[in-house]
Structure 1
């Protein structure tokens, strides 16, 4: 978006913000007073809120956010990309880099390629140089993922994901699972996860209740982790990656605000590959 007015910038890291700047925003709002905020972990804030979930969202001509939640970007960056970038990429960065600590030697399973977080995770994992395994219900989406550099593609409607990965890795399994789905994929995630593996969950789109055999947890010495959005330091990192052009979101489609219903219908169809953007007229 573009800054229309500015209040107090004291205590703001990027305090050079000015009216007319093009910015990306961090949609996670923290109170900055709790012990987690003071430790630099704003997404763990005891009063953490998300725009569009706990607070009014961004499908509007004007929004009000704390100045510290905005970072300036070059005016020549496509506004559709800027709009699609931060939430998914910040979430994926924390999952991949901070929580899972993915290394070049890792095998990484990413569920649901075509979604914003999954695509951002694929791009970040590829930058690191690790080997990727991605899933979808759509062969067309899997073909598109191969075009983006995915090493292994699996259709979960026709393939037993866990068994197939075990077979292809000589029973070793993967080092990291990035799961945004929850209930529907949990069992297969654990079948695919190798010894000393790390599973990171950031969502439960298919349901929140999961089960596991705790004996497998301690025997395989797994790390099961949650991850939500990102802190201010991570926000700075992903903003710099966007400024430099090293990370760029994939935009599936763009709709004018007058076509808002069509945008949501596209989202509900599950056919999108990338982010759906709604354009607000000047």
Structure 2
């Protein structure tokens, strides 16, 4: 197959953000002289329209995924956790290859393709699947994160494997589309894994964050009832988003709801309140988790787990159908984007500071500069 001329053959440099090490915001360096990447076989080159800020970007920057870290995310969100985390501070538990262009969310347009990819894909409007199959692995649950194990969307141009880049037909803006991939696929994966059914009652912790607010829409889409937990100042907005009941963060959940009150818990927080969650589940209930912003270490009475026949699901790996389903929901208008604020990519430090303050609902979007 004849190779299309790459943008990198006509445009040599681009702007982007390089993560140079684990630590504070100073580790994010905005550069205007990064080389435009060249798509290899089975890859495509994307002109990035928009990306977004996620917990995983900050967790990776500060090294929170290291097993040496016991604190919650905010404990190191500004300054990091020091060099002690360098050996295992990544999703995969191996040293991160630096410098790295982060950005798990990526909306854009295919502008050139490598060998084995049809030139007809040039011009497609796309979303990149953020949680991808691990390259070269045939084992289930082996995966890699876009913007962590490979460069991601915090740049004007990005490379991705063609089979991980899905076409999307939508009238939404790039900023709106960029709000979906990471947060909504994480939420949909959790909901899919525990098979949320119509009429069930689902408790969502951290409901005002990107994943939590996505989960509200996706659970309601399946006809289930939502009990959301969030900061008191955000309760009205979360109710308007579709939650059937909203409980202020920090409340005694067992006093509010009583034991055996919910069928499913979608947890993004963990932390000190975690021991109440198994007691809230009915017999045969399901617990699913994809975050621990309140702290990764919890105390559990194992008797509750087996005496109530509970099922626990840790959710990182995403089967391909999860993202394909998400594309369908977007195209049919079954879910809506929640964009709180837009920032130019060069202001990523300010965007992450706003993110860490947690005074918003939905997603913070990063817009790269247009080509000159």
> TM-score when scaled to structure 1?
0.87
Distance 1:204 1:16 in 2: 42
More helix by share: 1
Counterpart contact for 1:163–1:191, Cα < 8 Å: no
Three-state SS of the structure 2 residue aligned to 1:142 is helix
Aligned 1:4-23 pairs, distance under 5 A: 4-9=111-116, 18-23=121-126
Counterpart contact for 2:260–2:279, Cα < 8 Å: no
Aligned 1:33-48 pairs, distance under 5 A: 33-36=136-139, 41=140, 44-45=141-142, 48=143
Alignment correspondent of 2:153: 58
Three-state SS of the structure 2 residue aligned to 1:65 is strand
Instruction: List alignment gaps of at least 5 residues for structure 2.
Output: 1-107
Greater C-alpha radius of gyration: 2
Query: How big is the shift at 1:229?
Result: 4.9
Three-state SS of the structure 2 residue aligned to 1:248 is coil
Aligned 1:194-209 pairs, distance under 5 A: 194-209=282-297
Distance 1:196 1:9 in 2: 48
Distance 2:209 2:120 in 1: 31
Counterpart contact for 2:344–2:366, Cα < 8 Å: yes
Aligned 1:104-123 pairs, distance under 5 A: 104-123=198-217
Given candidates 219, 222, 235, the residue that maps to 1:125 is: 219
Counterpart contact for 1:90–1:229, Cα < 8 Å: no
Number of residues of Structure 1 aligned to a counterpart in Structure 2:
263
Given candidates 138, 158, 161, the residue that maps to 2:253 is: 161
Cα 1:103/1:224, change in 2 over 3 Å: same
Cα 1:118/1:24, change in 2 over 3 Å: same
Given candidates 135, 144, 147, the residue that maps to 2:240 is: 147
Deviations 1:57-83 (CA, angstroms, capped at 9, x unpaired): 311111111011111112632111111
- What's the Cα RMSD here? 1.9
Alignment correspondent of 2:315: 227
Query: How big is the shift at 1:86?
Result: 1.1
Instruction: List alignment gaps of at least 5 residues for structure 1.
Output: none
Distance 2:221 2:201 in 1: 14
Distance 1:257 1:243 in 2: 27
Instruction: Return structure 1 stretches of 4+ with deviation > 4 angstroms.
Output: none
> TM-score when scaled to structure 2?
0.67
More strand by share: 2
- The range that moved more, 24-33 or 210-219, is 24-33
Query: How big is the shift at 1:205?
Result: 1.8
